[in-house]
Amino acid sequence: MTKVKSMFVLAVTITAAVFAGAAAAKHLSDKSVKERLEPVHKVYVEGDEVPQVSNTAPSTGAASGPRAPEDIYNTYCTACHAAGVAGAPKLGDVAAWEPRVAQGEETVYSNAINGLNAMPPKGTCADCSDDEIKAVVDYMVEQSK
């Protein structure tokens, strides 16, 4: 190894050791260790003064209402329905959607809500309401006519 390379390697090694030492010192400080060892929760027994806390979640503002079917599709459904993963009917593929639509609207809704074959219940939108899932199904069927 040339002298310049050796000097560079030595400089990098020393710099790394200094930073690692500083990080270890902070990580091992009394305050840091004490914070990591604090209990996750507290247990109160009869006679203890228990702080009053609210049992309601903080308000995040007004309810936004149902999400747009296209937004739900683009967020949750497109991964499978754009490419036809595991037999999922592609958006816009009339031939793939016709036999499904022929089974009736309620059957298509039920399959989407409860899952079918590789698709889990509600696809990947676990927090979607049944009405939102129905609206997404309507959107996909409409786009595939």
Residues 79 and 128 in one domain: yes
Report whether 109 contacts 137 (CB < 8 A).
yes
The CATH number given to whatever domain includes residue 118 is 1.10.760.10
Residue 15, pLDDT > 60, answer yes
**Got the DSSP string for 46-102?**
TTS-PPP---SPPP-SS---SPPHHHHIIIIIHHHHTTTGGGPPPTT-HHHHHHHHH
Residues 31 and 74 in one domain: no
Residues 74 and 138 in one domain: yes
Report the number of distinct structural domains present in the chain.
2
DSSP symbol at 95: H
In a domain, 45, yes or no: no
Identify the three-state secondary structure at position 97: helix
In a domain, 121, yes or no: yes
Residues 76 and 24 in one domain: no
Residues 73 and 126 in one domain: yes
Residue 56 has a CB neighbour count (10 Å cut-off) of 6
Give the domain range for residue 18: 3-37
For 64-87, the pLDDT digits (tens) are 678 999 999 999 999 899 999 999
In a domain, 83, yes or no: yes
Q: What pTM, to 2 d.p., does this model score? A: 0.56
For 18-37, the pLDDT digits (tens) are 555 555 555 667 887 788 78
DSSP symbol at 84: T
Q: What sign does the CA torsion over 77, 83, 89, 91 have? A: positive
